[in-house]
Structures are given as C-alpha cells and as structure tokens.
Structure 1
Amino acid sequence: MTKPFLRPVRESDFPAVLDLARQSGGGMTNLPADEQALRARIAFAVESFARDASMPGGEVYMLTLDRGDGQAVGTAAVFSAIGLDSGFVNYKINWTFHASKQLNKRISRRVLVPTHDFTGSAEVGSLFVSPEIRGGGFGKLLARARYLFIAQTPEIIAEHICAELRGWRAPDGSQPFWDAVGRHFFEMDFEEADVHNAANGNQFIADLMPRYPIYVCLLPPAARDCLGRPHDNAVAAYKMLLDEGFEFDDYIDIFDAGPLVEAKTKNIRTIRESRVLAVSDIVESEAGEDSILAAGAVAAFRACRAKAKVAGEEIVIDRETAKALNVDKGARVRWVKW
C-alpha cells in the first residue's frame, strides 16, 4: 500500500478540497465551502509556492494529505504573514475597573477590545481531515507537518505565529456570539459574512465592525458562554496546539468568539525537537521508532509518518517512505519523534 504523505496543493485538487470544505460544517474561513472563494484560495496558494519568496509577504502555503494515489483527503496551511493589506482584527478580553466612594463599591467588568495585535504575524490553519480516515493519527500528522514546513525555511514565515479555532455553535447550527454582536453591525448571516471574508478579504470588517469596546455583561448569557470556547469539532486541534506550546491569552475571533492562540516559532515543540539527518540506507520494510519525516522545502516539500532507525546524525528509512518523501540514499531529511 502506498504511504500517505503531505505535499503542496495543486489546481487539480480543487474537487477533492471542495468536498472536504463542504464536510467541515462551515465556520472555517480559510477553507471556504464556496466554490469561487475556494478556487481563488487554491490558485493563490499555487502562486505562493511558485514565488520563491525570501521573506514573509502574505503568501499562503496550503498543504494536502495525499493518500498515495493523488487524492487529497486532508488539508492544512501556513500563512506567512496575515493582514498586510487591511489589517487583522480580533477581540482581546480585557478588564475594566469602576469604583464609587459614595456607594463604597468596586466593580470589575470584562470588555471586548478590538485589536490589530496579530497583524503581520504568521498563522497556521485550514486543518481538516476527511471523516473516512479519522482515527488514524492523520490530524496529528497534518498539524505537526506544518511546523516541519516552517522549520525547513523559517526565513519566509513570520516569527510570531497564531492559530484561530472555530468558535462554538449550538446543536441547531446557530452561533450565539454572532447573533448577539456581529449580526447587528454587518447585517448578514454568519455564513454570508464568513464566505465574504474568505473571498474578498477582511476590509469590510474594519469598515463595519464596532468602533468601541463592548461590555461582556451586556451580552446574552449564551453569547458570553462562547467566549474563547472552540467548536466541538475543533477541541482536539485546540489541545494539539496547546501541547505544541501555543498559549491562549484571551484573544478571540471577531465573528464567532473562537479562541486565538499564539507562540513564537522557535518555541513550537515540533520545530524545537526536530533534527536534520542524512539517509544512510533505504531498506525494504519499516522498522524503528514511530516518527514524522519531512524533505524538501516550499514547492518541493513532502512529509509523512513512518518508522525509522536513528543513529547519531544518520537515519534508515524504508522504500515506501523514500518514495513518499521523494528522496534517495544520502539525502537529508528532517526528523522528529511521533
């Protein structure tokens, strides 16, 4: 059986990626289920891989999980620097303090403050795995392979990196935070706003969003309960991000109040623990330690999960792994323990 591996997205992946986007259930701005928006996003990703960038310039590096026959069954992406054209807006949950000597009262209240704190940061996102292959560790592979992509060419990715998680939705699909806040200012449904953001960028957010802080106590209880709460389907991804060293510091998405987490690239566990090794031998069958391996950079990037034998600065891999990574004996690969 051919080994699944990650590779850059291709224009020909559009039908499969569209199917994945439709299965996601919505709310993933970077993986829109709208055909026009998704086609444009894939086209821009293909262009980004061909740019030969030397520094972060707003490129989108979308990766697909190829099951070994050219069929994409998962996606993940690295955004080199976000918001360079019109800014990247989110809410920061801050505290305000009020005191009255006359009433002898001191009152603290949470407020949502619009910020551009992550404009120019890198972002990881678009993580989605086809339901047909869930439970096989492919979500973890996709998530961690993104960091190996960054480690291969760190100079083209901003040093400060963030990740936005889809916000919580009610069982009936409603989004309490959007209904309490966004709907009143954008005058459209959540899905319409999300697709517009994916297709046309976020300038309309800066144009129409509330200009002033919002007191959390004025929101309905259901909306308050959403703050920083990930979508049920994003809980596993959230835990993986925290395990990698990302931190939640009370930043939330302006649409659905999903958590936004952050880290310095050098502090991400997979990057910090990865090593570059020389392939000393290619054998017939897998043996050794469960690992994630990557080879090549940018347009030539490949990554897969495999068992490999590490000895000093050398590594032994099997033929299927060598084929998936497109490497021969003597090549250098990046390795990290699974």
Structure 2
Amino acid sequence: MLVLRPVQLTDLPQLQRLARESLVGVTSLPDDSERLRDKILDSCTSFEQNVQNPGPENYFFVLEDLTNRSLIGCSEILATAGFDEPFYSLRNRHFNSASRELNIEHGVPALSLCQDLSGHTLLRGFHIDGAWTGTAASELLSRARLLFIAAHAQRFCGTVITEIVGYSSDEGHSPFWDAVGKHFFDLPYVEAERLCGLESRAFLAELMPQYPIYVPMLPQAAQDCIGRIHPDGQEAFDILQREGFETNHYVDLFDGGPTLLARTGNIRSIAQSQTTQASPGAFIDARGRYLVSNDSLENFRVIIAELDYLPGKPVTLDAAMCAALKVTEGRQVRLIAL
C-alpha cells in the first residue's frame, strides 16, 4: 500500500536519492544533504505551528511504499509565494504601439519580469520515481496536497499556482535559457537551476533584464519554448488541468515553462471532496476507487482505496486502511473519487 505523509528527518537519505533522480528545473528539490535537511526541518516546524492565516510555511510530503518502507515520490505546498523573498516570473503579454498619422496599431508579444504571482499558494517539488509514472500513484502524490488544503483552508491563500518545468533536451540544453538568461549570467541552464535550488531564485532573477523582451527578437527555437512543457512534466500538468487549473500569461523566467492557476474554491479535489466517519470492517463490497485522507495536521495521511461509499453514510475501511490512515472508529475521513 502507498501512503502520503509529512516528511520526517529520517527520510533524508532516501529523499536525497529522489533529488538526484529529479527533473532539471525542479529547483525546490536540490541534491544537497544540508539544504534538504533544512527543508525537512522547516516543514516539520510548519506542521507544528498554530497557523490562522497563510504565511511562509512550507509543507513537504513524501509518498511511501509501506511494503518495503521505500520513498517513491515527494511534493510540497508553499503557503504563500513571495512571503519571505520576491517571487519572480515573466509576464507574457502584447505591447501595443500606435500611430494616429499612419492609422496603424500593432501589438508585439513581450516578456516582462514581474512579481504578480506573489501572494498565492504555490504547489511545487513534485517528483515521482520513474517506475510509478503513469499510475494512480502520481494522482495520489499530486492531489493529496489539495486534500490537505481542503482540510486546513485557513493556512492557504485564495488562489493556487504551480510552475510546470519547461522544455530542455536530454543533455540539459534549454533554447529559452540560452536566448535570454545565459546572456546575463554566462551559466549553462543546468548550473543555473542548480544554484536556484541551493541558494535562491531571487538572486538570479534580480539580474535578469528589467525591460520588456520582445518575443519576435528571440531565436525561433526560444520562441517555441514559451509555454512548452518538458515531456517528463506532462503528467503533472495533466493531473492539475483535470483539477481545474488553467494556463495564463505567466511563464518561468529560466526555461519558459507554463504557470497554472486556479481559485482554491474551484479546485475539484477541494470543492468536491466529502467528509464522513470511518467504520472499521473486515468486508468491503468495493464500488469505486477513492483518495482517502484523515484530515489530521502533523499526522496527515492519504491513501488510495477501493470502497463502497454512499454520501452521508460512514465508510467501511479494512484494518490495513485504518492503520495506514491512523484512524479509528468514528474518526473523520475525507474522500474524493480517483
């Protein structure tokens, strides 16, 4: 059985293995033991705090295979992007120019450095072991975060965003970075992303051009990367799109990958999830497959379960499900159809 839970310090060795395997561009998962240790401790503190309004908290989750106690994935929620430091992105909109004398009006797409997306909750750090991609485990890893937001709404903002990793080649070559960022840092794309993970993306962003970058002046290969998803990021994109997230006018300032955005109350797993009471039992006449969470804070757990659930009625969970969720008779659980 797979269970998603908050990260623990004892997860550090396995978490570093996941970091080594993660996609270039997932800068919130650096391959550095000290940085990962700090992230784990920061997450533990966030879960322990009595929070009534969203702040700088970071909630870090891991997906564990209980059969062999191995970690197969991880994901995060940053309660407020831009709370502790500026959250930069590129705004992709038309710059309009006009001449009354010539009766000409023309719009040119331009990229502008901005902090427009500060003040939103940010989903980040999604990574799953390659052997589990394309399975229900990916849904669990991504959507379980949304069930946590549903259970603890006061900790999060009214809008949720996420950045999907943009295109780069198997060799780590990013046409967008080469056409834009590399001129200001003289660093390869992979090295720039590594520095972002170890330090801060803000210090690199602040060296980016402060004036609009006119898209038609970029090489065609770079233009083609604007809003383009890395093939290994397509699954993460598709899951959240099914949840109601939509693309917008913002792209990542390093690789040009798209940003997804949704109003918190409109997200499927938040708006349509239902709560009921757990009823331990030995027999389940399964009629559907669900994500099930326990709505706890520090002991938050989510699993996938085959259940017979009727809205308004307690749901029967077998002993293994109850143990994985850490629930007993009468405890509240939250469900959403898989």
Residue of structure 2 equivalent to 1:109: 108
CA distance in structure 2 between the partners assigned to 1:192 and 1:162 by the alignment: 25
Residue by residue over 1:41-75, the C-alpha shift from the partner in whole angstroms, topping out at 9 and shown as x without a partner, is: 22222222222322211111011011014321111
Partner of residue 46 from structure 1, selected from 44, 47, 57:
44
Uncovered stretches (5+) of structure 1, i.e. residues with no partner: none
> Conserved in 2, the CA contact under 8 Å of 1:282 and 1:329?
no
> Conserved in 1, the CA contact under 8 Å of 2:172 and 2:190?
no
Residue of structure 1 equivalent to 2:332: 332
Partner of residue 30 from structure 2, selected from 21, 29, 32:
32
CA distance in structure 1 between the partners assigned to 2:323 and 2:286 by the alignment: 16
SS in 2 for 1:170: coil
> Conserved in 1, the CA contact under 8 Å of 2:88 and 2:202?
no
Residue of structure 1 equivalent to 2:321: 321
Q: How much does 1:206 deviate? A: 4.5
How do 1:57-136 residues align onto structure 2 when only pairs under 5 Å count?
Answer: 57-68=55-66, 69-100=68-99, 105-136=104-135
- Paired residue type of 2:34: Q
Residue by residue over 1:84-128, the C-alpha shift from the partner in whole angstroms, topping out at 9 and shown as x without a partner, is: 122111011110223346666543210001221111210112111
Residue of structure 2 equivalent to 1:237: 236
Q: How much does 1:260 deviate? A: 0.6
SS in 2 for 1:296: coil
Q: Tell me the matched-pair count.
A: 336
How do 1:300-319 residues align onto structure 2 when only pairs under 5 Å count?
Answer: 300-311=299-310, 312-319=312-319
What's the TM-score once normalised by structure 1's chain length?
0.94
CA distance in structure 1 between the partners assigned to 2:133 and 2:9 by the alignment: 25
CA RMSD for the aligned pairs? 1.8
Query: What percent identity do the matched residue pairs reach?
Result: 33
Q: How much does 1:180 deviate? A: 0.8
CA distance in structure 2 between the partners assigned to 1:171 and 1:199 by the alignment: 22
> Conserved in 2, the CA contact under 8 Å of 1:307 and 1:317?
no
CA distance in structure 2 between the partners assigned to 1:142 and 1:109 by the alignment: 40
CA distance in structure 2 between the partners assigned to 1:59 and 1:104 by the alignment: 53
> Conserved in 2, the CA contact under 8 Å of 1:169 and 1:231?
yes
Residue by residue over 1:168-200, the C-alpha shift from the partner in whole angstroms, topping out at 9 and shown as x without a partner, is: 012432011111111112332323322332232
SS in 2 for 1:92: strand
What's the TM-score once normalised by structure 2's chain length?
0.94
SS in 1 for 2:303: strand
Q: 1:124 to 1:100 in 2, by over 3 A?
A: same
> Conserved in 1, the CA contact under 8 Å of 2:26 and 2:126?
no
How do 1:176-325 residues align onto structure 2 when only pairs under 5 Å count?
Answer: 176-284=175-283, 287-311=286-310, 312-325=312-325
Residue of structure 2 equivalent to 1:12: 10
